[in-house]
């Protein structure tokens, strides 16, 4: 399972599509820190 990627700049649709298709095929997990302007994209899905 790939580690989440930290994104600090704008990404295009092709890059986002690569992340979406990489593991689950039709979805991607992400977390945004609005104050710092960063995005963590990818990682393992889980439910709590």
Give the separation between CA 25 and CA 29, rounded to whole angstroms: 12
Strands 5-7 and 30-33 come out as unpaired
Residue 1 has pLDDT above 70, yes or no: no
The pLDDT assigned to 3 comes to 80
**Over the stretch 18-40, which tens digit does the pLDDT of each residue have?**
888 877 788 888 899 999 999 99
The pLDDT assigned to 24 comes to 74
Residue 42 has pLDDT above 70, yes or no: yes
Domain extents in the chain:
5-41
């Amino acid at each position: 399972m790939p580690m989440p990627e930290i994104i600090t700049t704008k990404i295009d649709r092709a890059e986002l599509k690569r992340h979406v298709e990489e593991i689950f095929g039709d979805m991607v997990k992400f977390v945004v820190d609005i104050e710092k302007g960063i995005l963590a994209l990818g990682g393992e899905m889980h439910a709590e």
